[in-house]
Amino acid sequence: MHLLLVISVQSITSYLATCAFGIIFNIPFKPLLHGGLIGMIAWIIYFFLFQSTGNDFTATFAASFIIAIMSQIFARVCKNPVILYSVAGIIPLVPGGLTYSVMSGAVGNNYEVAIYFAEKVFVLSGSIAMGLIFSEVLFQIYEKIQFFRHKRRSGVILAHKGKFFSK
């Protein structure tokens, strides 16, 4: 019962937070709702991976990988730029609170705390970027395979009509 409460609170709040950030970034209305869904799924994945393994690098990487795949799919289906969905999706994951902790530590003369958090910010944002780029590369490979398949098939059809060597 307690677990159910935690899941529902986390998913509702992450959906709302993502949509609200989308309004600040002026994302149009329909992609806003899809982006909220992506952000919610990513946050749930991150939350449970982090709670079970205690390693936020892996959890962030996995979540951002899922975000990028989902945003590529949404972007292709709805014919919108990928950035609409990926920016909305990474909002719950980005190390904003940590960035604040870095600077408040540095301003308050706690340099050790500041450097600890700064390294964490660097690693986490790097893992988000890696997750995004990783799935982009996967999509490019997929497209290349489709392209070659299409080329071969159309080449066969043209050869059948005797036009294969015409150019």
Contacts to another protein from residues 57-96, by CB under 8 A: 79-81, 83-84, 87, 90-92, 94-96
**Number of residues binding to another protein, judged by CB under 8 A:** 48
Q: Write down the least CB distance from residue 13 to another protein, Å.
A: 4
Question: Which of the ranges 119-127, 142-150, 158-166 carries the binding residues for another protein, by CB under 8 A?
Answer: 119-127
* Least gap, CB of 65 to another protein (angstroms): 14
Q: Cα separations (Å) of 142 from 18, 56, 92, 129, 159?
A: 29, 29, 28, 20, 26
Contact pattern from residue 22 through residue 61 relative to another protein, giving x for each residue in contact according to CB under 8 A and a dash for the rest: -xxxxxx--x-----------x------------------
Residue given tokens 């992609």 in the structure block? 31
Give the burial string for 133-166 (b: 16+ CB within 10 Å, else e).
eebbeeeeeeeeeeeeeeeeeeeeeeeeeeeeee
**63 in Cβ contact with 42 (< 8 Å):** yes
DSSP letter at 165 equals T
Q: Look at the block and give the residue holding tokens 């979540």.
A: 63
Binding site for another protein (CB under 8 A): 9-10, 13-14, 16-17, 19-21, 23-28, 31, 43, 79-81, 83-84, 87, 90-92, 94-97, 99-104, 106-108, 121-122, 125-126, 128-130, 132-133
